[in-house]
């Protein structure tokens, strides 16, 4: 099966996220086509993953300032049926299981927490997603499936 | 970096902050700073107009939640104006449509107070 692979590596700094969203959105509009809503979903997914990557990189706690070598790699893999995005960073990681201990969104006590919405957003917007994290980095993978095209009338 | 647009006007005692551009980890701090400033000046009725926002992610949502909490601590209120389905979707998925009053216009938001 044909897979088109686009790889973008950017410094792990906030000002680069707009560029990442632009490239990923542009990539998703190439054949196979995602509709506008799904392209928006993808922009949010990748923005969330990269934001977490920046925070992980900058809190590495190994006594070193985040250097220009700290980067995020964003890979888009396009097939006829899906767009897959993989975001990898080299930061200190986090515990995806921690999210289970947050109160549900509708609980007023949730208002005390201004963060932690990113991963639930990724999971809600993607058709499939996986997040693996450890002390040497985090890998976020999300898949958006392409809606089947209606049959054309051409012979 | 493309700057976030922040335009403050007054309407019937409400401070109306119109935001334009993309709200993410790069630009959200400016929004936070502006909202913190408004609360610090004693503004207790604030409308954040998101009609010209092209993108918002959880960093932006967090700034708005933080501002809502701060305003409520001072017995005030913070409302949003947002009709764009792309932006509304992010509020819906995170359940924040139950937390914020989201209006269809500044007129509607400032009458509700």
Q: Where are the beta strands (DSSP E) in A35-98?
A: 71-78, 82-89
Q: What is the pLDDT of residues B6-32, one digit of tens each?
A: 999 999 999 999 999 999 999 999 999
**What burial class does residue B108 get, using C-beta atoms within 10 Å of its C-beta: 0-12 exposed, 13-18 middle, 19+ buried?**
middle
CA pair distance B67, B39, nearest whole angstrom: 8
Of the listed ranges A49-63, B6-20, B81-95, the one predicted with least confidence: A49-63
Give the one of B1, B66, B93 whose C-beta lies nearest to A15's C-beta: B1
Q: What is the pLDDT of residue A100?
A: 47
**pTM over the 0.90 mark:** no
Mean of the pLDDT values across residues B20-49?
95
| pLDDT bracket for residue A111 (50, 70, 90) | very low
Q: What is the pLDDT of residue B105?
A: 97
Q: What is the pLDDT of residues A119-148, one digit of tens each?
A: 999 999 999 999 988 777 889 999 999 876
A66 CB within 8 Å of a chain B CB: no
Asked whether the predicted pLDDT for residue B78 surpasses 70, the reply is: yes
Which residues on B lie below 8 Å from A21 (Cβ)? 22, 24, 55
Asked whether the predicted pLDDT for residue B101 surpasses 70, the reply is: yes
Asked whether the predicted pLDDT for residue A68 surpasses 50, the reply is: no
Give the one of A14, A48, A111 whose C-beta lies nearest to B99's C-beta: A111
Helix runs in chain B, H state only:
28-40, 58-73, 85-93, 106-112
Cβ under 8 Å to B: A residues 1-60: 14-15, 17-18, 21, 37, 40, 43-44, 47-48, 51, 54
Q: What is the pLDDT of residue A62?
A: 53
Q: Report the CATH architecture of B5-112.
A: 2-Layer Sandwich (3.30)
Joined together, the tokens standing for residue B99 give 């937390």
Quote the minimal CA–CA distance from A105 to chain B in Å.
6
CA pair distance A28, A26, nearest whole angstrom: 5
Please tell me whether the interface predicted TM-score (ipTM) of this complex is above 0.90. Answer: yes
Interface of B with A (CB under 8 A): 1-2, 22, 24-26, 55, 57-59, 61-63, 65-66, 68-69, 86, 89-90, 93-96, 98-99
| CATH 3.30.565.10 is right for the domain spanning A4-145 | yes
The region that residue B42 occupies, defined by phi over 0 for left and psi between -120 and 50 for alpha, beta otherwise, is: left
CA pair distance A44, A39, nearest whole angstrom: 9
Q: Residue A56's CB: how many other CB atoms inside 10 A? A: 21
Share of chain A above pLDDT 70, in %: 70
Sequence ranges of the domains in chain A: 4-145
| pLDDT bracket for residue A1 (50, 70, 90) | confident
Q: Which string of DSSP letters, residue by residue, matches A128-140?
A: EEEEEEETTEEEE
The region that residue B37 occupies, defined by phi over 0 for left and psi between -120 and 50 for alpha, beta otherwise, is: alpha
């Amino acid at each position: 099966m044909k897979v088109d692979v686009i790889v973008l590596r950017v410094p792990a700094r906030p000002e680069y996220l707009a560029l990442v969203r632009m490239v990923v959105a542009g990539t998703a509009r190439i054949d196979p086509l995602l509709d506008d809503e799904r392209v928006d979903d993808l922009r949010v997914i990748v923005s969330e993953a990269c934001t977490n990557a920046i925070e992980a990189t900058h809190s590495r706690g190994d006594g070193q300032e985040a250097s220009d070598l700290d980067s995020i790699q964003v890979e888009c893999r396009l097939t006829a049926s899906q767009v897959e995005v993989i975001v990898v960073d080299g930061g200190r990681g986090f515990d995806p299981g921690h999210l289970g201990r947050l109160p549900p969104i509708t609980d007023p006590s949730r208002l005390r927490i201004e963060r932690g919405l990113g991963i639930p957003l990724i999971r809600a917007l993607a058709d499939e997603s996986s997040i693996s994290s450890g002390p040497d980095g985090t890998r976020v993978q999300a898949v958006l499936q392409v809606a089947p095209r209606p049959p054309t009338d051409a012979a | 970096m493309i700057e976030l647009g922040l335009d403050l006007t007054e309407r019937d005692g409400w401070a109306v902050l119109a935001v334009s551009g993309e709200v993410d980890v790069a630009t959200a701090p400016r929004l936070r700073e502006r909202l913190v400033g408004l609360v610090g000046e004693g503004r207790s009725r604030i409308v954040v107009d998101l009609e010209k926002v092209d993108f918002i992610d959880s960093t932006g949502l967090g700034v708005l939640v933080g501002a809502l909490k701060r305003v409520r601590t001072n017995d005030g209120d913070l409302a949003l104006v947002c009709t764009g389905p792309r932006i509304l979707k992010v509020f819906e998925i995170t359940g924040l449509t139950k937390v914020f009053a989201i209006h269809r216009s500044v007129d509607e938001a400032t009458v509700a107070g």
